[in-house]
Amino acid sequence: MRFRHRAAAGFATLLLPLAGLVGLASPAEAATSATATYSKPQDWGTGFEGKWTVKNTGTTTLSSWTVEWDFPSGTSVTSAWDADVTSSGTHWTAKNKSWNGSLAPGASVSFGFNGSGSGSPSNCKLNGGSCDGGTTNPGDNPPSAPGTPSASDITNTSVKLSWSAATDDKGVKNYDVLRDGAKVATVTTTSYSDTGLSAGTDYSYTVKARDTADQVGPASGARAVRTTGGTTEPPPGDKVKLGYFTEWGVYGRNYHVKNLVTSGTASKITHINYAFGNVKNGQCTVDDTYAAYDKAYTADQSVSGQADTWDQPLRGNFNQLRQLKAKYPHIKVLYSFGGWTYSGGFGQAAQNAAAFAKSCKAVVEDPRWADVFDGIDIDWEYPNACGLTCDSSGPAAFRTLMQALRAEFGSNYLVTAAITADGSNGGKIDAADYGGASQYLDWYNVMTYDYFGAFNAQGPTAPHSPLTSYSGIPQAGFNSADAIAKLKSKGVPSKKLLLGIGFYGRGWTGVTQAAPGGSATGAAPGTYEAGIEDYKILKNSCPATGTIAGTAYAYCGNNWWSYDTPSTIAGKMSWAKNQGLGGAFFWEFSGDTGNGELVSAINSGLQ
C-alpha cells in the first residue's frame, strides 16, 4: 500500500503584493562599476528559489541599487526578501531596502525570492547599465554547467579529473573544483589532479565555471571516486546481498534509512535497490519527490545525527542514503524503476530505447544526487506478458531496452533487472529474451516468491516461495529451482542470478487443515493489505508449524500462512551457493525484525 504526502515548497514571507504594481522610477545613476549576478540555490520542481548578488566593483561608495530583468511568460516571483520587488507584465524590478542600499567599494549584498515556473532571467540591468559592469550590453548570463567530470589515474591518495568546457556569452575565466561540496581548487584548464586523499575512501567531485564578470554557474554532474587501498571494502568474490528500500515506507511503515543502521543491517548487505522510480511517456522520472529529496529529518532521525536545514540543497531519502554510504562505504545503491504498479510504461519506452536510457541516466545523474547512485535496476512486470496490465511489445523488446541502457550508462554503472521466476513451459520466462539480454546486465533479481497466495481466494493453500517442487504443488514450474534451471538453459550465467527472498508471508483464512493443499474462504487479515503480512509480525502472531519445499508454513486458528524463517533462509542460501549463484536479494527491509534477523541469516548463509 502506498502512502502519499506532498509538502508545500514555499518558505518565505511575501513582502509586497506583486501583481498589478507598476515599475519603479528610472534609476538616477549608471552602473559602470558594479555587477549583479543571478543564481538558483534550490529547485523543487513546481517552484524555485532565486538569488541576486550586487557587488560594488568600483572605487567609490554606491548609494543605492536597482536590479531589473525579464522572466519568460509563465515564470514569476511569488515572494521576496531583502529587496522591494515589483512587476509590470514579465518585467521585474528589485530595489534596495533602506538599510542595504549603500555599498562600499568591494562590498556586496544579496536578496532572494521564491518563484514559480521554470524560466531564467534575461535582459538584466543594474542601475540602468548592464549587470556585468558595462554600459552598452543589456545583460550578462552566468556560464553553463561544465560536463560531468571523468576520473582517471586513481591511486591510494590521488585522482585526475577532466571535464568538458562550459559556455558563456562573455567567456569563461576559470573553474572551481569541489570535493564533497567544498572548493579545493580554482583552475583555468578543464582538468585537475587532486592529491592528499585517504586510501579506500569515497569522494564526490563537481565543477563550477566562472565567467569574466565573476558570475558562477551551476554545478556539473557529480562524479563518485573511490581511492584504492584501505580495508573497508568486502573481500573480492563476496556474494551480492541486496535489499529493496521502498520510497513510501517512510510514511505508514515509519521505516527510514537510519533503521538500516540501528538494526545492524547496513554492515551485512552489499547493495540497496531504491524503489521505485516511475516510467511515464517512455521516460524515467522520480515518483514521490517529497520522500525522495525534500522531506526534512531531525537530528535523531538522521543517519549522520545532524538535522536537515531548510536551505540545504538535498534532503529526504536521497540525502539519508548519501549519509549511509559515507558511514558504510562498501554499500552500492541502485535506482529501481517500474515495479508492479509502474511497469505499464515500459512498452512505450522500448519503442525508443535510446531515448528511454538517456532519460534514466539524466535522473540517476541529476547533479543534486549523482553521487548517491551506483547503477540502475529495471523491474518490468512483465515484458511481452501480463502483470497489472498486459504488454505486447514482443520477445525482443526487453533485450533491446537492456542493450540501450548499457550503451548509455557504460561500464562504470551497475545495470540490473528484476525478472519473473515463472519456470513453467511456455510461461513468462519463455515470453522474453532473458538469455540474450543477460550479456548487458550485471545480474538478474529472480523474483522467486509470490508463486501462490490468496489472489486465488479459495486456495489451495501453498507456500508462496517454494525452493523446489513437491507432490501436490498447484502449478508445475512455479518454484525457485525450476526457474533458475530454465534461465541457465537460456544461457544466463549462474553468477548473474540472484535468488529472491520475501520478508513477508502470504495467507488465507477459513482454512480447516494444517497441511498445504487445503481450501479457504479468502485472504487472511493483514496490517496493510489482506493476505500479506510482515515476517516480524507473523513470527509471533502465527509461528511456523511445518516446512515444505524448503520454506515454512504456519497454521493458527483458521488462518494459514507461508513465509521464510532464519532456518529456511539458511537452507536456501546453501542451495544458492551450490548452484553457483551470484547471491541473494529480498523484498523488503521493513518486513524484518528490529534486530535484522532475516538479513543476518542471508549474510551468514552466503559466507
- Helices 597-605 and 566-578: crossing angle in degrees, nearest 10, is 30
Which residue from 390, 474, 494, 383 is spatially nearest to 434, judged by alpha carbons? 383
Write out the H or E segment, with its range, that includes residue 560.
strand 559-563
Tell me if residue 602 falls in helix, strand or coil: helix
Which residue from 530, 536, 607 is spatially nearest to 566, judged by alpha carbons? 536
Catalytically annotated residue among 49, 365, 381, 533: 381
- 552-to-39, 46, 581 alpha-carbon distances in Å: 58, 48, 22
Q: Are strands 559-563 and 551-556 parallel, antiparallel or unpaired?
A: antiparallel
Is 234 exposed, middle or buried (CB count within 10 Å of its CB: 0-12, 13-18, 19+)?
exposed
> At residue 241, what is the residue type?
K
Our answer to whether residue 381 is catalytic in this structure is: yes
Tell me if residue 331 falls in helix, strand or coil: coil
Helix, strand, coil shares, percent, the chain, to 5: 20, 30, 50
- CA–CA distance, 514 with 461 (Å, rounded to integer): 9
Q: Are 588 and 246 in contact (CB under 8 A)?
A: yes
The grid cell for 468 is 523446489
- CA–CA distance, 499 with 242 (Å, rounded to integer): 10
Which residue from 327, 346, 436 is spatially nearest to 388, judged by alpha carbons? 346
Tell me if residue 403 falls in helix, strand or coil: helix
- CA–CA distance, 59 with 245 (Å, rounded to integer): 58
Q: Are 259 and 602 in contact (CB under 8 A)?
A: no
Cell 538558483 identifies what position? 40
Beta strands, E only, 118-201: 122-126, 129-130, 150-152, 159-162, 172-179, 182-187, 191-194
The grid cell for 217 is 554557474
- CA–CA distance, 221 with 219 (Å, rounded to integer): 7
Q: Are 237 and 366 in contact (CB under 8 A)?
A: no
Residues recognised as catalytic: 381
